[in-house]
Amino acid sequence: MSRFSHVDPDTPTPTRLNRGALRRILGWLRPYRWVILINVCLSLILTGAELMVPLLLQWAIDGVIRAIRSITAAVGEVERAAVFAGAWHDLGLLIGGFVGLFFLMGVVRYFEIYRTMVYAQRFMYGMRRRFFSHLHCLSLRFYDKWKSGQLIARGTADMDALQETIAWAPSHILSSAFMLVGACAAMFWKDPVLFGAVFPILPVLYLLTRRFRIKASDAWRQVRAQTGRLTANVAESIAGARVIQAFAREQRNYEVFGNLTDRLYDTRIETERVHGRYMIGTRSIWMCAQVIVIIFGAWRITVTSSLPEGEGRVTAGTVAAFLVYVAMFFRPIDMLTHIYSQLLHSLAAADRVIEVLDTEPEIVDRPGAVSPTDFEGDVTFDHVTFSYIEGTPVLHDVSFRVRPGEVIALVGPTGAGKTTVCRLIARFYEAQQGYVCIDDRDIRDIAQSSLHKRMGIVLQENFLFAGTVMDNIRYGRPDATDEEVIQCARQIGSHAAIEALPQGFETEVGERGGLLSAGQRQLICFTRAMLAGPRILILDEATSSVDTQTELKVQEALRRLTQRRTCFIVAHRLSTVRSADRVLVIEDGRLTEEGAHQDLLAAGGRYAMMYEEFIRSE
């Protein structure tokens, strides 16, 4: 089982970094470490280039001022022209420097973005495949405990929440930190006095950011919770559309949806209000810092004007560069705040994904499990006890043996354990006590893939995949030809019903087979199971949704197709079990009667009473 605690989709986002999830993410990123390192280097180069822009701006401003002064002080046209030409030469070099620097930044940014997105998509591609593959390995007990909406959310929304952090967090964190340190160092280098005037305002920014992080985390927790509730409501409404209309619940469902939408609206507004206040606060502090730089900068220009250039003299270019460095200091603060908030969400999402990935399948192949190419079909239950919930047994010490080719009917009241017997034969679950054997071999010593390839199962509520009838019948045997599919349908007795569909075997069944009737879906599933050529056939209420005439055709087909196949039939309609070789009566999880149909009637026991009730109901 997962070592992470169970996390509901509405679980609030934590206010602290989840170090366990962070370590797992770092482990997943290890194969991409060189790609990430190159991306970080590109980001640092880009940051270094950005830190050069204020220096070029300073040289440009001071150069223009010097040129104007030189031109004004020049005597005569010749000297003025020479100074003017020199100024233009210097200005051209500065313009060339700006163009070259911006071109370098553009090229570096392009490669940074391209490489980052490629690596992020590769990472997400691998994660999605890992998640999807793991879901197919998990046992049915896992799906008994989890809602499909929860798993869909973790495989989509939570997975997407990882992408931005995976892509940009490493490079942006380091580049923002580099920008902060570089901006502070540049300001101190330019003028320590001016830097000292601005520095006291920086703790105010830190306190504001810290307060925003706390409030923003709480606001986003509420948004995530409300979004989860709204998503669940929408998914449930879509799945239950027919029931909603049947009970005229449209207006009530709309009111519930409206209430959930209103709450989500309020939480989103509160989130934007918190963010807006933070933006106003940071902009106000930024403006205060700019005002301080301008005022103190003007004062520093005045008091240092008599000093030689390069010996502590502050110029207009210095002040302008200082203003740009102040802006560069505030920008990474915003970036780091955003990254931290995003990291909180991503780690919470990662924890939910990890919980699924760390869930170990209960049904696994034993070391050395064999993969027989075929079975005789001998099935044995040896003192089997099983429970879905610990302490509440569903089957109690059940023992029986079925010979190859026998047709066995399982009858009994609802909830007696008939379907559970079939699930244990298919090894969807494992018995807590006793053994289930096929061909005198413990079913746990048989590879699951080999077991299921030689087993056909038709349930009362069958699932069809979106596609055509032909696609669904061929699902268990993809290499079957159209002629083989059609021939199988003729043998089963489903051919006429399928041909009666608008496009016959090429008819689209819709999502979950919603465009077909229950009887049509069941016939298709029956044909699908038989096409796979199973050695063991399980029919769990497989004819409950077909009409009497079709049921007679299916029974006739079964008499032909069950030759050399072991068949288990679960049915409440006892008319479908008369021709069974043996009948197993299960009550309260115990095997109470066993024998042929006529023998059990003659015995006058529980089966005889059930059959008499069935005859009267007919």
164-176 burial: b if 16+ Cβ within 10 Å, else e: bbbbbbbbbbbbb
> What contacts 104, CB < 8 A, 6 or more positions away?
49
Percent of the chain with pLDDT over 70: 86
- Report whether 492 contacts 550 (CB < 8 A): no
The mean pLDDT value of the chain amounts to 79
pLDDT at 543 exceeding the cut of 80: no
pLDDT at 285 exceeding the cut of 60: yes
User: What's the average model confidence in pLDDT over 5-15?
Assistant: 43
Angle between helices 518-531 and 482-492 (to 10 degrees): 120
The angle formed by the CA atoms of residues 329, 268 and 22, to the nearest 5 degrees, is: 60
pLDDT attached to residue 107 = 85
Residue 360: DSSP 8-state: P
Please write the tens of the pLDDT for every residue from 221-276. 677 667 767 777 777 787 777 677 777 778 888 888 888 888 888 888 887 888 77
DSSP 3-state of 247 = coil
- Distance from chain centroid for Cα 436: 36
- Report whether 334 contacts 282 (CB < 8 A): yes
Strands of the sheet containing 536-540, edge to edge, are: 455-458, 536-540, 566-570, 407-411, 582-587, 590-595
Overall pTM surpassing 0.95 (yes/no): no
Beta bridge partners, 389, equal 392
Residue 367: DSSP 8-state: T
> What contacts 573, CB < 8 A, 6 or more positions away?
543, 544, 614
Question: What is the longest distance spanned by two Cα atoms in the chain?
Answer: 135
pLDDT at 328 exceeding the cut of 80: yes
- The 10 Å Cβ neighbour count of residue 22 is 15
- Report whether 166 contacts 29 (CB < 8 A): yes
55-82 burial: b if 16+ Cβ within 10 Å, else e: bbbbbbbbbbebbeebbeeeeeeeeeee
Best CA proximity match to 197, nearest among 211, 186, 183, 187: 187
Q: Which of 220-229, 361-370, 397-406 has the lowest mean pLDDT?
A: 220-229
pLDDT band at 75 (very low <50, low <70, confident <90, very high): low
Report how far apart, in Å, the C-alpha atoms of 161 and of each of 124, 157, 353 are: 11, 6, 11
Backbone angles phi, psi at 461, to 5 degrees: -105, 95
pLDDT band at 13 (very low <50, low <70, confident <90, very high): very low
Name the range with the highest mean pLDDT among 279-283, 373-377, 440-444: 440-444
Q: Which helix (H) or strand (E) holds 400?
A: strand 395-402
User: What's the average model confidence in pLDDT over 188-200?
Assistant: 82
> What contacts 330, CB < 8 A, 6 or more positions away?
205, 282, 285, 286, 289
pLDDT at 14 exceeding the cut of 60: no
**CA–CA dist 414, 416 (Å, integer):** 6
Q: Tokens 């302008």 sit at which residue?
A: 320
- Between these two residues, 585 and 346, which has the higher pLDDT value? 585
Q: Tokens 């005597």 sit at which residue?
A: 75
pLDDT at 4 exceeding the cut of 50: no
User: What's the average model confidence in pLDDT over 176-194?
Assistant: 84
pLDDT attached to residue 11 = 46
**CA–CA dist 292, 307 (Å, integer):** 22
Helix, strand, coil percent values for the chain (each to nearest 5): 65, 10, 25
DSSP one-letter string for 4-62:
SPP--TTPPPPSS--HHHHHHHHHHHGGGHHHHHHHHHHHHHHHHHHHHHHHHHHHHHH
Q: Which helix (H) or strand (E) holds 213?
A: helix 202-239
Name the range with the highest mean pLDDT among 53-62, 146-155, 374-383, 554-563: 374-383
pLDDT band at 76 (very low <50, low <70, confident <90, very high): low
User: What's the average model confidence in pLDDT over 441-453?
Assistant: 85
Going by their DSSP bridges, the two strands 379-386 and 433-438 should be labelled as: antiparallel
Best CA proximity match to 459, nearest among 533, 542, 390: 542
**In 138-156, which ranges are continuous DSSP H helix?**
140-145, 148-155
User: What's the average model confidence in pLDDT over 473-488?
Assistant: 86
**CA–CA dist 30, 167 (Å, integer):** 14
User: What's the average model confidence in pLDDT over 74-94?
Assistant: 65
pLDDT at 550 exceeding the cut of 50: yes
pLDDT attached to residue 385 = 92
391-428 burial: b if 16+ Cβ within 10 Å, else e: eebbbbebebebeebbbbbbbbeeebbbbbbbbbbbbb
Please write the tens of the pLDDT for every residue from 339-365. 777 777 777 778 878 888 888 888 888
pLDDT attached to residue 17 = 56
**CA–CA dist 12, 345 (Å, integer):** 9
pLDDT at 280 exceeding the cut of 60: yes
Name the range with the highest mean pLDDT among 88-97, 494-503, 564-573: 494-503
**In 475-605, which ranges are continuous DSSP H helix?**
482-492, 495-499, 518-531, 548-561, 597-603
pLDDT attached to residue 381 = 92
pLDDT at 292 exceeding the cut of 80: yes
- The 10 Å Cβ neighbour count of residue 504 is 14
Residue 148, class by beta-carbon neighbours within 10 Å (0-12 exposed, 13-18 middle, 19+ buried)?
exposed
At position 342, the amino acid (one-letter code) is: Q
Please write the tens of the pLDDT for every residue from 201-213. 777 877 777 777 6
Beta bridge partners, 109, equal none
pLDDT attached to residue 74 = 59
Please write the tens of the pLDDT for every residue from 50-62. 888 888 888 878 7
- Report whether 166 contacts 173 (CB < 8 A): no
